[in-house]
Amino acid sequence: MSAAEGFEYRSRTTGEVAIFQHGKLAVMLRDKDAAKFLKDVEKGEPQEVMAEAAGNHKQGGKPGVGSQGPGSNMHGDAKGHPVKEFRRKTG
């Protein structure tokens, strides 16, 4: 199998780490997960560490698939929420 590629990460002043795959957000790490990730990147192969953190081990799956994928803690995909039209209040 080929090594993982196409990943990059950015750390924020808040301590959060955003991991991107091919320019798209794959996962956002916070608190202990972010600290552990940064230590692992220093010690190991950065692309492999980012692939593992994004739940994309050995590029065997698609990003965002599974219970650990990005967005798993987010609510819905807007399909269940129709667009509401708002009227301007008068007087």
Q: Which helix (H) or strand (E) element contains residue 13?
A: none
What does the DSSP 8-state code read for residue 79?
Answer: T
Q: What residue spans define the domains of the chain?
A: 7-59
What do you get for the CA distance between the two ends of the chain, in Å? 67
In contact, 49 and 41? CB cutoff 8 Å: yes
The per-residue pLDDT string of the chain (91 residues; one tens digit each, 9 = 90 and over) reads: 345 688 999 999 898 999 999 889 999 999 999 999 999 999 988 889 999 988 875 544 444 444 444 444 445 555 555 666 767 777 6
pLDDT at 71: 47
Per-residue pLDDT, 31: 92
In whole angstroms, give the CA distance from residue 36 to residue 30: 10
